[in-house]
Copies of this chain bind each other. A is one copy, B any other.
Amino acid sequence: MDIALDRTSETPLYLQILNEMRTMILTGALPPGFRLPPERRLAESLAVNRSTVLAAYRELKAEGLVGAHVGRGTVVLAKPFAAPAPEPRGELPWRQLLRHDALAQDPLVRDLLELAERSDMISLAAGLPAPELLPMATLRRLLAEILKQEGPGVLLHCPTEGHLPLREALAELMVARGVSCSPADVLVLSGSQQGIDLVARVLIAPGDVVVVEQPSFFGGLQVFRAAQARLVGVPVDEEGMRPDALEAVLQRYRPKLIYTLPSFQNPSSAVLSPARRLRLLELAYQHEVPILEDDPYSELAYDGPPPVSLKALDRRGHVIYLSTFSKVLFPGLRLGWVIAPPPMLRQLVLAKQIVDLHSNTPGQWLLDRFLREGHHPTHVARVRAAYRERRDVVDRALRVAAVPGLEWRRPAGGFYFWCRLPEGARTSRLLTRAAETGVSFLPGGTCFVDDPGAGFARLNFTYPPADRVAEGVGRFATALRDVLGEPSQPRSARGGTRPIV
């Protein structure tokens, strides 16, 4: 029997034997009725332990390829009966074939993105930066320079970890966020959504418990649901995740991960207080649970300095830090980054290699130049001022609209007003009515683990220009009054609303 073994391979010898013999049987090289050599003899001729051959034969038997008969040894069995296949059926039954357990059925984000593209609609739904504030001229110049000065490398592969200069620039950027890390701790991502997915992929097995804030980021919940995690929610109040509730959860479940957005949280815009940050870390240390800190918004602080990140406070390597340029700069580039302790980062890199090899190269070169030439702080200062103004516009518009029972807090940073709807306003009806009135918003229920239909609406204030955002809030208030059965304010006071068709 001609079996070539590779003793330096990491594949166990029994598997090498098994696979070769299976192929020989399936291809007919070992025909039905063929007697396999006795285990001891094959073991000798291959210079392996008898138990190795035994394991291979046992598996062949289990697969129904050979049978053992006392006195006759181990014999290749006749080919399995041809499938009774009555005759070529039609299309594939895809619905049966697809995995339904691990799939999100909810195309909400996609639908919201599409909605935002309709020109007649004021979108307060999507979490997007203001397009007109993008530094297009700078980006155009930088791209032209890169393509002129650099060789084709800008269009070739780069390492899975990312373009090294960019990783250096990101480590540098993190200093401003109070985090001291080296470029080796940074992995460039195809957007921070990918970071959540990769962390789930390397950490979460089906049935594992993941602690999430209530409410939390819809895209994060989607990832953990797809990973078949058990989601356990911890309520958020005006100071962020409640540590008493968190402690109870940690004691009762043994979660594999705490997922949090501590700074200008999506959707509530809550900021975890400094005392709670320390308490959160302490609890994580005590229960040996890693924390995934998702931080897209901390630079966008309107009333004071940005909050200090958990990563900056973490003294024991429990925090995986995730951020992105999609909220401050250009979402279409799909670039984010993760900073993680070395054993975690290594696994994230291996997982990323499998899912997309590496993030797009030209975008990384562009971002690197943008950071190195010092455009980032200038740009952040500029959008911060504009967004602060839009926030104040929305706050005033909500006050002017004065819908009875509507509650909100003016956010100190980030992208969103998180509004508690008046008693009796159902988001499903409101969503339809709002669309008719020409405005979209994110229904709050999507941000909860259990979608209690909670009467919340998330209003984004960064995407539409200042005049449009005020008009959008007016339309929202009109729709709200409509579903509440309140009389609308006179239309002329707010400028005409355009119904969509």
| A120 at interface by CB-CB < 8 Å | no
Contact of A147 among B18, B139, B202 (CB under 8 A): B139
Within 8 A of B (CB), among A423-453: 426, 428, 445, 449-453
Within 8 A of B (CB), among A90-142: 90-95, 97-99, 101-107, 109-110, 113-114, 126, 128, 131-132, 134, 136, 139-140
| A70 at interface by CB-CB < 8 Å | no
| A191 at interface by CB-CB < 8 Å | yes
State in angstroms the CA–CA spacing of A153 and B116 once bound together. 12
Q: Are B95 and A343 in contact (CB under 8 A)?
A: yes
| A478 at interface by CB-CB < 8 Å | no
Q: Are B360 and A332 in contact (CB under 8 A)?
A: yes
1/0 contact string of A446-471 vs chain B (CB within 8 Å)? 00011111110000000000000000
Contacts A204-B99, A214-B23, A445-B6; A252 near B453 (Cβ below 8 A) = no
| A11 at interface by CB-CB < 8 Å | yes
Q: Are B8 and A428 in contact (CB under 8 A)?
A: yes
Q: Which residue of B lies closest to A23 (CB)?
A: B235
Contacts A26-B249, A147-B136; A346 near B62 (Cβ below 8 A) = yes
Contact of A251 among B62, B82, B95, B101 (CB under 8 A): B82
Contact of A19 among B49, B244, B452 (CB under 8 A): B452
Q: Are A343 and B193 in contact (CB under 8 A)?
A: no
Contacts A107-B353, A134-B152; A10 near B8 (Cβ below 8 A) = no
Q: Which residue of B lies closest to A190 (CB)?
A: B356
Q: Are B99 and A453 in contact (CB under 8 A)?
A: no
| A69 at interface by CB-CB < 8 Å | no
Residues of B within 8 A of A155 (CB): 134, 136, 139, 330-333
Residues of B within 8 A of A47 (CB): 8
Within 8 A of B (CB), among A8-43: 8-16, 18-20, 23, 26-28
Contact of A93 among B6, B101, B153, B288 (CB under 8 A): B288
Residues of B within 8 A of A114 (CB): 159
Question: What distance in Å separates the Cβ of A317 from its nearest Cβ neighbour in chain B?
Answer: 5
Question: What distance in Å separates the Cβ of A85 from its nearest Cβ neighbour in chain B?
Answer: 5
Q: Are A357 and B134 in contact (CB under 8 A)?
A: no
1/0 contact string of A281-318 vs chain B (CB within 8 Å)? 01001111010000000000000000000000000111
Contact of A355 among B79, B194, B288, B344 (CB under 8 A): B194
Question: What distance in Å separates the Cβ of A277 from its nearest Cβ neighbour in chain B?
Answer: 16
- Taking A26-B245, A222-B354 as known contacts, 13 extra A-B pairs with beta carbons closer than 8 A to each other, sorted by chain A number, are A4-B453, A8-B51, A9-B445, A19-B450, A83-B251, A89-B316, A92-B318, A94-B344, A113-B157, A131-B153, A154-B332, A157-B331, A190-B356
11 residue pairs from A and B, CB less than 8 Å apart: A6-B445, A10-B14, A26-B248, A63-B252, A83-B250, A98-B344, A99-B203, A109-B353, A128-B157, A139-B155, A194-B356
